[in-house]
Amino acid sequence: MNILGQAEAKLEDLNILLESPPNPSGNYVPYTMITPLIYLSGVTPKVNGELQFKGKVGQDFSKEEGYQAARQCIINHLGTLKFILGDLNRITNIVKMEGFINSDPHFYELPYVLNGASDLLIEVFGDKGLHSRSAIGVASLPGGAAVEVELIVRYE
């Protein structure tokens, strides 16, 4: 079995349960498929529909808590991908990530926070999880979320 064949087993080993895709909170869709790519709209760190990290990283949350918030965003994306594709093994690579961190103006460790998302993708998909990315500090996010992550994925 190749590394992608182990993606869902890896999630199970990590005790990560995937949820159904979140309902959009506005006039948009959660994803758009243009073969062979899936463009995933931004998601926040929700569990069972409840925002887990509301506030600013570097003010209300430590960089380590911001890391966990970014990680939860990817868990949410993986749930959407499982819903769309039926099998995470269809993912051939993670193409691009954009992470938005609701941060104190004097907080500069944005890459560390977004590593919470990147590290999980690499842990689950190995080299296929390597991606380009941008870590962007912002003044505010929907619902006051600490982090929001967008993703572009290639599939077969």
Domains of the chain: 3-155 (3.30.1330.40)
**pLDDT of res. 5:** 61
And the tokens for 78? Answer: 């993986």
- Say which residue, 45 or 26, is predicted with more confidence: 45
Q: Is the pLDDT of residue 35 over 60?
A: yes
- How far is residue 107's CA from residue 115's CA, in Å, rounded to a whole number? 15
Q: Is the pLDDT of residue 4 over 70?
A: no
Q: How many CB atoms lie within 10 A of CB 37?
A: 13
Q: Is the dihedral of CA 58, 64, 67, 68 positive or negative?
A: negative
Given pLDDT bands bounded at 50, 70 and 90, which one contains residue 1? very low
Percent of residues, the chain, with pLDDT higher than 90: 92
- How far is residue 124's CA from residue 122's CA, in Å, rounded to a whole number? 5
Q: Is the pLDDT of residue 113 over 60?
A: yes
**pLDDT of res. 24:** 86
